Amino acid sequence: MDIQIRPDRKSGPLKKLHGVNNGPVSFGSLIDVTEHFRNAAFPLIRLHDVNWPHAWEVDIHTIFPDFGRDPEDPASYDFERTDTYIASILETGAKIVYRLGESIEHTKKKYYVHPPADYEKWAKVCVGIIRHYNEGWANGFHYGIRYWEIWNEPDNPDNQVMWTGTPEQYYDLYRVASLAIKRHDATLKVGGHAATMVNPSFTQAFIAYCREHVLPLDFFTWHTYAGDPEAVAANARLVNRWLEDAGYFDMECHLNEWGFFKSAGEQLWKPVGAEQRHTTFERIKTEEGASFAAALFALLQDCPVHEANYYDAQPHNLFCGLFDRYGVPTKVYDVFRKFNELCGYAQRIETEIEEGASGVYALAATSDSGNSALWISNFGGESREYRISWPGLDSRRGEWLLLDKERRFDGLEASAIASEEDGAVTVFLPKHSVLFAKFD
């Protein structure tokens, strides 16, 4: 047997980990994928690199363009573009993680990713933004945004693309801003620091600094791009260990940037790397990227991850695997949409993958009315027939949908599902495929 389903062993609902970064409108509003956002019901959308590389929204400098002005004066702010952008996200039904900071700068000259000239004043600007979106200040709104993340990847070692200061300067900025936000509204959740996971000394020192200074750290955020879902799970466990070693138990952890990324070589970002870039970024939109996402949704159910945000959902972004640059949904999007359907089942059912099925990941769930569903990703296993044991299941009353190189959750013929005398079911799963089966 390759996959064992134990319907008598049930737990709580599945974690809805199909959040994304950024909203449905891009290319200067020429591309609008709002309906696709609604159909996939992305639960949580993080705001970072909005409309990059021409970010006119969300970033501190776009909202408070003249740092010499008074942060208590509504006239010092320009909320208009960000108001429109946030409204477009909330119309999809998603909730928001608002990143307080700046977008990434790959340019030789850095414009906005420097430590603020005055931390206290910068923190007052952050509070002004919170007041505008949560309290109606400055002709604002009452959106009730709970998550406020302070900066992004200050530990990024790549040519200071996110932070030109020292680690200590970021820690101090976090101290000033987090305390100011909590003084203003203790019910808000404040967190950071969007760790790259390639600079552990920075991250461990940040955690220790927060503990030593008794700072608000309501949620911890981190990132991983990988070609193997097990690498993401390993980082989840590593982050949890760092936090527990510092005395943070049961910390809310957000994997708020992740993606399938297998670089084609060291020349990727150089002029000679055009073909490598094409291969790398087109690959993430295929059934390989789709089965990676499906595997990760299953694998992270048992990892210390509370929220997750795929990077990126903007059709124009190189890292977007959900749509092509014209806004056409990809196979990766299909996985997000179907996973949302799976999350509609009330209870998770225990599954077990046998050793001989390495590289295969599975979930099963049941509804209050007795309907059930099966989710299998063959990301890294062999292309072969897999035997599935689900006691009491009548496979003939099921709808078997498969995504692979040729199909996008198309129905399988009844002849493709072989039922055996011992109650097992056999189905052929190509490598880089996703099976979603539903049963009455």
DSSP secondary structure string, 97-112? Answer: EEEES-----SSS-SS
Separation CA 72–CA 128 (nearest Å): 7
* CATH fold label, 17-342: TIM Barrel (3.20.20)
Report how far residue 60's alpha carbon sits from residue 404's, in angstroms, rounded to the nearest whole number: 43
Cα–Cα distance, 425 to 420 (Å, whole number): 6
Cα–Cα nearest to 172, from 229, 210, 127, 220: 210
Fold of 347-439: Immunoglobulin-like (2.60.40)
Residue 433 and residue 361: Cα distance in Å, rounded?
11
Q: Measured between alpha carbons, how far apart are the two ends of the chain, in Å?
A: 24
Q: Do 300 and 17 form a contact (C-beta atoms < 8 A)?
A: yes
Residue 234 dihedral angles phi and psi, to the nearest 5°: -60, -40
Write down the pTM of the prediction.
Answer: 0.97
Q: Is 203 helix (H, G, I), strand (E, B) or coil?
A: helix
- Which residue ranges does the chain devote to CATH 2.60.40.1180? 347-439
Every domain of the chain with CATH number 3.20.20.80 lies at: 17-342
Residue type (1 letter), 269: W
Closest CA to 380 of 286, 292, 297, 262: 292
CA distance 126 to 148: 9
Would you put residue 394 in left (φ > 0), alpha (ψ -120 to 50) or beta? beta
Minimal CA–CA distance to 116: which of 163, 74, 79, 156?
Answer: 163
Q: What is the pLDDT along the chain (440 residues), one digit of tens a residue?
A: 899 999 999 999 999 999 999 999 988 889 999 999 999 999 999 999 999 878 899 999 999 999 999 999 999 999 999 999 999 999 999 999 999 999 999 999 999 999 999 999 999 999 999 999 999 999 999 999 999 999 999 999 999 999 999 999 999 999 999 999 999 999 999 999 999 999 999 999 999 999 999 999 999 999 999 999 999 999 999 999 999 999 999 999 999 999 999 876 778 888 888 999 999 999 999 999 999 999 999 999 999 999 999 999 999 899 999 999 999 999 999 999 999 999 999 999 999 999 999 999 999 999 999 899 999 999 999 999 999 999 988 777 889 999 999 999 999 998 899 887 677 999 999 999 999 999 98
HSE (side-chain half, CA atoms, 13 Å) at 303:
25
pLDDT reported for residue 155:
98
**What are the residues whose beta carbons fall under 8 Å from the beta carbon of 413, sequence distance 6 or more?**
none
Place of tokens 């047997």: 1
Longest dimension (CA), the chain: 78
Phi, psi angles (nearest 5°) of residue 152: -140, 125
Res 264: pLDDT? 64
SS3 of the chain: helix, strand, coil, percent, to 5: 30, 25, 45
d(CA 176, CA 188): 16
Cβ burial of 266 (10 Å; 0-12, 13-18, 19+) is: exposed
| Residue position matching structure tokens 């959740």 | 189
pLDDT at residue 28, rounded to an integer: 83
Looking at residue 372, its pLDDT comes to: 96
Rg (CA), the chain: 23
197: left (phi over 0), alpha (psi -120 to 50) or beta: left
Which pairs count as long-range contacts for 284-287, CB under 8 Å and 24+ apart, including other chains?
284/259, 284/260, 284/319, 284/321, 284/332, 285/321, 285/324, 285/330, 285/331, 285/332, 286/330, 286/331, 286/405, 286/432, 287/331, 287/403, 287/404, 287/405, 287/432, 287/433, 287/434
